[in-house]
Structure formats: C-alpha cells, structure tokens
C-alpha cells in the first residue's frame, strides 16, 4: 500500500517569535501554513519571566503570555498549529518530504525552519531551580532588572566577555567566572573586560551551586558557590543575578546533510534574505542568527521568511 502524504503549501517547523510571525504573514497570504510547535512550544521565551524590551507591550509582559499571544494571532488567520515535532526531512527534491512524531507524512511546497537555538547551561539542579528567578542566558534581555546590583557571568569566550561588559554598564559589580587561568575571547574583547573597573575576573573556578531563596510565591538568586579547579577550595560570592555565557546550540540536528550550515550548526542564508541553499527552504530566527538572538529580530526574520516563501511560490507557479 502506497504511503499517504498530506499536501501543504507552507510548512513551518518550530514556534517562538520567528515561527509564529512567519505563520501570521503566510496565513494572511493564503498559504494555509501548518506549524509544528516543536519540543519547546514558544521557544526560549517560555522560560523567561518579564519581557520589557518588546515593542507594543508598554507595561512589559511575561514570556509565556507573549508567546500565547503570538500563537493566538497566528491561529486567528487559520494557521494550523500542531503539537509535536518534525522527526525527519528530505530536501533532495521539491516538494519536500517531511515526517512528524505523530506519524504523519507531509509533502510541502515550501518549508520555513524556525527551530531556534538552545542556551547551554552548566547542568546544575540549582541552576534549573532558579531559572526565571535570577538565572538567565541573555544579558540584553534581562540585564535591566539588575541595575545597581551584583551579578555573575560564567564563561571565558567572546559571549561571556560581551555579556559581562554589557552588564557592567548596568550592574554595580560583575564577577566573570572562568574555569581556566586565561580567557578564550578575542584580544579586543579581553582588553575591554580588563579595562572595565567593575568587572572582577575570578580565575580557575567552577560554579558548583547557585544559591538562593525560594518561597511559595517567589524565588531569587542570592549567591553562588565556587570551587577552585586546582586546589578544590570552596568559596561563595553574593550576587543577585547569574548569567550563562557559554554559548548556544542551534536546533538543527535533523537538517544535517540536507542544508548548508556553518561550523557551529547555524543555517546559512543568502545575504539580507532568508533563502537557504535549497530553493524553497527558508530559515528564520535564532536558528540562523548567532549574533542578535532577540525576540524582535526573530520576529522580523519570520516576516521575511514568509514573504520570501510567498514570492518563491509565485515565481515557480507562474513559470
């Protein structure tokens, strides 16, 4: 018996600002998009409490609520939003063949990849416990809340040093915690850190526990427990915010071998566009953006991807 395929004009893989915005634009263009939300519906913003820097929310909004608003807007224009995730793709020819975890097989005229990227964490139970209560992986998203307070950044590469120098403009004191005795960041970034008075680098230490207070209604970081990487000596620092600067991993594993990526797994797109090397496949949001990683930039590229998909279909269908 021949395998049955569901035919879709525009398949959007992943939710979050990029995926939902792509869905709004694709739906309004009568592309009848189908969107699979992925393993983390709403993306990284669902782990964020207060979002104060997204236009249109003058009083701020909680991350999960904002993603629910995005989803409802996409559904208002009849986007078919589905729970679950894509397990397999075949981009070798168009229409593209795709399989989902619900067992459905889809053939899609266009595909928009909006699977995002996941912040790397240390893997500490206490780190998980205080997510949204002082533990963050985005200084530009959450740094404002620590104005005049003490914070720590973990890492030694460009990401960590950039986060630390950004936070130094807001916080009273920034501890940059690195497990080695020298930074991996570029010389220019290192110079910035060394020349910033309120950044203190704690060399040769690993974070072994995030300290904090927790009640039925609130949780907040109060410090961190560190261990010297050579002597094993334990010490504690008092902080109000704990930031991870050890990088992000784009969620692109299922696309390996199907599409061009850089050495870190981010999808390559044409300059100022969302087109990938495969005609008819587009990428939007953090899955292609290792630099900005903001909700508003992701939403913008989701808009671009949907418009690019609409134009592509218009061209191929009129050939």
49-74 per-residue burial string, b: 16 or more CB within 10 A, e: under 16: eebeebeeeeeebbbbebbbebbeeb
Q: Which of 10, 141, 286, 308 is catalytic?
A: 141
Contact 33, 11 (CB under 8 A): yes
pLDDT for res 132: 82
Can you give the three-state secondary structure of 12-70, one letter per residue? Answer: EECCHHHHHHHHHHHHHCCCCCEEECCCCCCHHHHHCCEECCCCCCCCCEEHHHHHHHH
Q: Is the pLDDT of residue 1 over 90?
A: no
State the CATH architecture for 6-118+249-317. 3-Layer(bba) Sandwich (3.50)
Please identify which residue in the block is written with the tokens 């961190």.
224
- The first and second tokens of residue 59, run together, are 């009083």
Please tell me which residue, 49 or 291, carries the higher pLDDT value: 291
10 is catalytic: no
**From 142, 286, 289, 308, active-site residue:** 142
- Average pLDDT (69-96) is 95
pLDDT of the residue at 48: 65
> What mean pLDDT is predicted for residues 199-206?
97
Structure tokens given for 154: 């973990």
Q: How much is the pLDDT for 64?
A: 87
Domain ranges of the chain: 6-118+249-317, 121-244
In what helix (H) or strand (E) does residue 212 lie, and over which residues does it extend? strand 205-214
**Catalytic, out of 138, 286, 303, 308:** 138
Asked if 6-118+249-317 and 121-244 have one fold, the answer is: yes
Report pLDDT for 218.
86
pLDDT, tens digit (0-9, with 9 covering 90-100), for 114-162? 999 988 899 999 999 998 899 998 888 889 999 999 999 999 998 899 8
Q: Is 303 a catalytic residue?
A: no
pLDDT reported for residue 277:
97
- The model's confidence at residue 53, banded by pLDDT at 50, 70 and 90, is confident
pLDDT tens digits, 5-48: 899 999 999 999 999 999 999 999 999 999 999 877 777 777 66
| 112 closest CA partner among 245, 311, 318 | 311
Whether 78 sits among the annotated catalytic residues: the reply is: no
- Residue range 121-244 forms a domain whose CATH class is alpha beta
State pLDDT tens for residues 216-253.
788 999 999 999 999 999 999 999 999 999 988 999 99
Q: Residue 294's Cα: distance from chain center in Å?
A: 8
For residue 119, the model assigns a pLDDT of 84
């Amino acid at each position: 018996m021949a395998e049955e395929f569901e035919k879709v004009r525009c398949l959007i893989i992943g939710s979050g600002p990029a995926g939902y915005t792509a869905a709004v634009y694709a739906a309004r263009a009568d592309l009848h998009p189908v969107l699979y939300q992925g393993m983390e519906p709403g993306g990284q913003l669902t782990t964020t409490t207060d979002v104060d820097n997204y236009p249109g929310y003058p009083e701020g909004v909680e991350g999960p609520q904002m993603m629910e608003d995005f989803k409802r807007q996409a559904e208002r224009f009849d986007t078919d939003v589905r729970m679950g995730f894509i397990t397999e793709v075949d981009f070798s020819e168009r229409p593209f063949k795709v399989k989902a975890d619900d067992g459905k097989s889809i053939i899609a005229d266009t595909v928009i990849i909006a699977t995002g990227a996941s912040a790397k964490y240390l893997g500490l139970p206490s780190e998980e416990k205080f997510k949204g209560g002082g533990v963050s992986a985005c200084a530009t998203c959450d740094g404002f809340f620590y104005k005049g307070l003490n914070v720590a950044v973990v890492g030694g590469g460009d990401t960590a040093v950039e986060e630390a120098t950004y936070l130094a403009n807001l916080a009273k004191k920034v501890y940059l915690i690195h497990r080695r005795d020298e930074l991996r960041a570029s010389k220019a970034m290192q110079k910035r850190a060394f020349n910033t008075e309120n950044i203190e680098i704690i060399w040769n230490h690993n974070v072994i526990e995030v300290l904090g207070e927790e009640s039925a209604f609130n949780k907040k970081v109060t410090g961190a427990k560190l261990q010297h990487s050579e002597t094993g000596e334990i010490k504690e620092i008092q902080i109000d915010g704990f930031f991870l600067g050890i990088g992000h991993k784009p969620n692109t594993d299922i696309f390996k071998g199907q599409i061009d990526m850089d050495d870190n797994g981010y999808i390559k797109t044409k300059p100022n566009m969302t087109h990938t090397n495969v005609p008819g496949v587009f990428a939007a949001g953090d899955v292609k953006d290792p630099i900005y990683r903001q909700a508003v930039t992701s939403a913008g590229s989701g808009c671009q991807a949907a418009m690019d998909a609409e134009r592509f279909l218009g061209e191929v269908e009129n050939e």
